[in-house]
Chains A and B, each alone.
Chain A
Amino acid sequence: MRHTTNVSRRVFIKSSALTGAALTLGISFPSAGKETSILHAKDAESLGEELNAWISIDTTGKVTITNHRAEMGQGSFQSVPQIIAEELEVDLSQVNIVFAQGDGRKYGDQVTGGSSTISGSYQRLLRLGASAREMLIEAAANRWKIAPSECYAENGIVIHRSSGRKLGYGELVADASKLNVPSSVTLKDARNYKIIRKPLPRQDTPQKVNGKAIFGLDKKLPGMLYAVVERSPRFLGKVKSFNEADVKKSKGVKYVIKVQRDVFGIHMEGVAVVADTLWAAMQGRKALRVDWDDTGFDHHNTDQLYSKMKTQLESGQFLPFKTQGNFSTSFQKAEKKIEAQYETPYESHSNMEPLNCIADVRADSCEIWGPIQGPDWIQGEICGFLSLPPDKVKINMTFLGGGLGRKAFPDYPYEAAFISREIKAPVQVVWMREDDMTMGPFRPGMVYQCKGALSSRGRISAFETIMAGQNMGAQNPGADKSQYNGDVVDGLLKPYLDRIPNYRFGDTPLESPIPVMWWRSVYASTNAFAYESFLDELAVLAEKDPLDFRNEHLGNPRYTALIDKLRAVTGWNSRKKNEGYGVAITECFGSIVGEVAKVSRNESGKVRLDKVWAVMDCGWYVNPDIIKAQVEGSIIMALGAATHHATHFAEGKAVEKNFDRYLMPRISDVPEIEVHIMDNDEKAGGVGEPGLPPFAPALTNAIFDLTGKRIRTLPFKLNDA
Chain B
Amino acid sequence: MASITLTINDQKHKIDADPAMPLLWAIREIVGLTGTKYGCGIAQCGACTVHLDGIPVRSCSVPVSAVASKRITTIEGLSADNSHFVQRAWIEEQVPQCGYCQSGQIMTATALLQRNPNPTDKEIDAAMQGNICRCGTYPRIRKAVKTAAAIRSKSTSK
Residue numbers of A with Cβ under 8 A of B are 72-75, 201-202, 204-206, 208-215, 217-218, 277-279, 283, 350-354, 399-404, 432-433, 625, 629-630, 632-637, 658-660, 664-668, 670, 672-673
- Enumerate chain A residues within 8 angstroms of B101, measured Cβ to Cβ: 352, 401
Query: B137 within 8 Å of A by Cβ?
Result: yes
Say whether B132 contacts A352, CB under 8 Å: yes
- Enumerate chain A residues within 8 angstroms of B33, measured Cβ to Cβ: 211
A611 to chain B, nearest CB (A): 11
B114-147 residues with Cβ-Cβ distance < 8 A to A are 124-126, 128-142
Say whether A73 contacts B97, CB under 8 Å: yes
Query: B98 within 8 Å of A by Cβ?
Result: yes
Query: B49 within 8 Å of A by Cβ?
Result: no
B19-50 CB mask vs A (1 if < 8 Å, else 0) is: 00100010011000111111111101101000
Cα-based distance from A667 to B104 in the complex (angstroms): 14
* Residue ID in chain A nearest B96 by CB atoms: A208
Q: B133 is contacted by which of A209, A214, A277, A352 (Cβ under 8 Å)?
A: A352
Say whether B40 contacts A672, CB under 8 Å: no
Whether A668 touches B129, Cβ cut-off 8 Å, given contacts A209-B91, A352-B37, is yes
* Residue ID in chain A nearest B35 by CB atoms: A211
- Enumerate chain B residues within 8 angstroms of A201, measured Cβ to Cβ: 91, 94
29 A-B pairs with C-beta separation under 8 A: A72-B98, A201-B94, A205-B99, A208-B96, A209-B87, A209-B95, A209-B96, A210-B76, A210-B79, A211-B76, A214-B34, A217-B38, A279-B29, A350-B134, A352-B133, A353-B100, A402-B98, A402-B100, A404-B134, A633-B97, A634-B136, A658-B41, A659-B39, A659-B45, A665-B136, A666-B128, A667-B129, A667-B142, A670-B138
Cα-based distance from A673 to B139 in the complex (angstroms): 8
- Enumerate chain B residues within 8 angstroms of A658, measured Cβ to Cβ: 40-42, 44
Query: B18 within 8 Å of A by Cβ?
Result: yes
- Enumerate chain B residues within 8 angstroms of A400, measured Cβ to Cβ: 98
Q: A659 is contacted by which of B74, B98, B132 (Cβ under 8 Å)?
A: B132
Cα-based distance from A73 to B90 in the complex (angstroms): 15
Interface Cβ pair total, 8 Å cutoff:
170
Query: B59 within 8 Å of A by Cβ?
Result: no
Cα-based distance from A603 to B106 in the complex (angstroms): 32
Say whether A666 contacts B129, CB under 8 Å: yes
- Enumerate chain A residues within 8 angstroms of B142, measured Cβ to Cβ: 667
Say whether B40 contacts A659, CB under 8 Å: yes
15 more contacts with CB within 8 A, not counting A211-B76, A664-B45, A673-B139, are: A208-B102, A210-B82, A210-B87, A211-B35, A211-B74, A212-B35, A218-B28, A351-B98, A352-B100, A433-B40, A658-B40, A659-B39, A659-B44, A666-B128, A672-B139
- Enumerate chain A residues within 8 angstroms of B106, measured Cβ to Cβ: 209
- Enumerate chain A residues within 8 angstroms of B21, measured Cβ to Cβ: 279
Interface size on B, residues (CB 8 A): 58
Whether A74 touches B97, Cβ cut-off 8 Å, given contacts A211-B36, A672-B139, is yes
By Cβ-Cβ distance, the 6 closest A-B pairs, closest first, are: A211-B35, A636-B136, A401-B100, A73-B98, A208-B99, A73-B97
Say whether A209 contacts B90, CB under 8 Å: yes
Whether A352 touches B47, Cβ cut-off 8 Å, given contacts A209-B87, A399-B98, is yes
B73-93 residues with Cβ-Cβ distance < 8 A to A are 74-76, 78-82, 87, 90-91
Q: A210 is contacted by which of B75, B124, B133 (Cβ under 8 Å)?
A: B75
- Enumerate chain B residues within 8 angstroms of A205, measured Cβ to Cβ: 90-91, 94-96, 99
A322 to chain B, nearest CB (A): 33
- Enumerate chain B residues within 8 angstroms of A659, measured Cβ to Cβ: 39-40, 42, 44-45, 132
B102, B126, B128, B135 — which one has the most chain A CB atoms within 10 A of its CB? B135
* Residue ID in chain A nearest B1 by CB atoms: A251
* Residue ID in chain A nearest B18 by CB atoms: A279
Whether A352 touches B96, Cβ cut-off 8 Å, given contacts A209-B102, A279-B29, is no
Cα-based distance from A660 to B132 in the complex (angstroms): 12
Say whether A401 contacts B44, CB under 8 Å: no
Whether A633 touches B137, Cβ cut-off 8 Å, given contacts A214-B34, A401-B99, A667-B124, is yes
Say whether A664 contacts B132, CB under 8 Å: yes
B49 to chain A, nearest CB (A): 12
Whether A352 touches B45, Cβ cut-off 8 Å, given contacts A433-B39, A667-B142, is yes
Say whether A637 contacts B44, CB under 8 Å: no
- Enumerate chain B residues within 8 angstroms of A204, measured Cβ to Cβ: 96, 99
Cα-based distance from A659 to B40 in the complex (angstroms): 7
Say whether A354 contacts B29, CB under 8 Å: no
A595 to chain B, nearest CB (A): 14
Cα-based distance from A633 to B35 in the complex (angstroms): 23
Whether A667 touches B138, Cβ cut-off 8 Å, given contacts A217-B37, A352-B132, is yes
Q: B35 is contacted by which of A210, A632, A634, A666 (Cβ under 8 Å)?
A: A210
B40, B45, B95, B99 — which one has the most chain A CB atoms within 10 A of its CB? B99
* Residue ID in chain A nearest B38 by CB atoms: A217
B34 to chain A, nearest CB (A): 4
Cα-based distance from A564 to B21 in the complex (angstroms): 58
Cα-based distance from A433 to B129 in the complex (angstroms): 20
Cα-based distance from A74 to B98 in the complex (angstroms): 7
A406 to chain B, nearest CB (A): 11
A396 to chain B, nearest CB (A): 17
A382 to chain B, nearest CB (A): 24
